[in-house]
């Protein structure tokens, strides 16, 4: 089945680079990225501003992740990565005729939070799991058949373009989250919900999300809302989320801009930048490329609706 999916994907995608060429398929609560590498490469870096499940489709990668010895990554295996954690990847076998292909499924943090709450309410979880603790490393899932089958079904639904795609993806995403909550990856996929354990930081995060288009959000202003000095707030924020307040604000604005790009074929990039809370297009372009490893125009071209 997966070979048929990749054949259909190949007929849809646009190839613009030989290393980690990216095609994006989107749904309401999730984003599926398929990466293809057609040449041997080393030390390719990828970071996502949302929790992702990466699964190998064809070929072989060598993964370098914080907290792990380097390991081979083969088809049928998955890695769950928390937000803003770097993957450094080698491609020892990739060729033009036999590319290395991998998917990265990103799930909206609010959907994760919603399912976690439902899961906690309806399922008798072991006592030690009632207070979630965040494991800052990745989780390498090697032989989880349920997760592999779900990812295969999700890939089929994303690439098939069915009219009921959003409904079907939503149901499968909920099931996938529950399956992952039952594995060693449970603490990773709630990275973004973990921040609400700190009420003051959680309040600031909510303020940022509610005021993304505000071009005048400053660290001083956010520190006052958290009732902290600016230096203490900056340190506390970075300790909690792993990135600085400004980088977090920009990453959230980029997420919002991606939704605008997906939703509108007619808006100019300058209008998208403005509506996403950026003062000028050049800064928007730089931040977009820093976050997504491609320009806004390249991202627009990568989308298969």
pLDDT tens digits, one per residue of 53-106: 888 888 999 999 887 788 999 888 888 887 778 889 999 999 988 889 999 998
Domain made up of 198-304: CATH architecture: Orthogonal Bundle (1.10)
Q: What is the pLDDT of residues 25-48, one digit of tens each?
A: 888 778 888 999 999 999 999 888
Closest of 87, 187, 180 to residue 131, by C-alpha = 187
pLDDT over threshold 80, residue 171 = yes
pLDDT at 147: 84
Give residue limits of the domains in the chain. Answer: 1-194, 198-304
pTM over 0.95: no
84: alpha, beta or left? (left if phi > 0; alpha if psi -120 to 50): left
Distant-in-sequence, close-in-space partners of 77: CB < 8 Å, separation ≥ 6: 55, 56, 140, 141, 142
pLDDT (0 to 100) of residue 80: 84
- How much of the chain exceeds pLDDT 70, in percent? 80
- Give the chain's radius of gyration (CA, Å): 19
Per-residue pLDDT at 137 exceeds 60: no
The per-residue pLDDT for 285 is: 93
Average pLDDT over residues 121-136: 45
User: Is the domain covering 1-194 a CATH 2.60.15.10 domain?
Assistant: no
Question: What 3-state DSSP class applies to 253?
Answer: helix
């Amino acid at each position: 089945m997966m070979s048929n999916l990749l054949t259909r994907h190949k007929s849809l995608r646009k190839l613009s680079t030989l290393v980690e060429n990216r095609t994006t398929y989107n749904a309401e609560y999730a984003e599926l990225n398929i990466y293809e590498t057609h040449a041997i490469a080393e030390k390719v870096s990828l970071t996502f501003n949302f929790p992702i499940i990466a699964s190998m489709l064809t070929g072989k990668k060598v993964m370098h992740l914080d907290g792990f010895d380097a390991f081979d990554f083969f088809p049928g295996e998955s890695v769950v990565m928390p937000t803003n954690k770097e993957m450094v990847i080698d491609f020892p076998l990739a060729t033009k005729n036999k590319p290395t292909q991998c998917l990265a499924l990103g799930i909206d943090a609010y959907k994760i939070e919603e399912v976690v709450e439902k899961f906690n309410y309806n399922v008798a979880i072991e006592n030690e799991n009632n207070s979630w603790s965040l494991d800052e490393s990745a989780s390498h899932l090697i032989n989880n058949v349920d997760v592999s089958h779900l990812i295969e079904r999700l890939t089929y639904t994303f690439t098939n373009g069915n009219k009921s795609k959003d409904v079907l993806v939503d149901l499968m995403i909920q099931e996938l989250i529950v399956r992952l909550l039952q594995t060693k990856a449970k603490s990773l996929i709630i990275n973004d919900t973990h921040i609400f354990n700190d009420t003051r930081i959680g309040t600031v995060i909510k303020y940022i999300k509610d005021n993304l288009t505000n071009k005048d959000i400053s660290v001083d202003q956010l520190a006052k809302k958290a009732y902290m000095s600016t230096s203490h707030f900056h340190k506390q924020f970075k300790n909690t989320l792993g990135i600085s307040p400004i980088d977090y604000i920009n990453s959230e604005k980029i997420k919002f801009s991606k939704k605008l790009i997906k939703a509108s074929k007619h808006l100019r990039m300058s209008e998208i930048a403005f509506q996403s809370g950026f003062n000028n297009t050049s800064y928007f372009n730089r931040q977009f490329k820093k976050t997504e490893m491609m320009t806004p125009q390249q991202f627009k071209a990568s989308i298969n609706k």
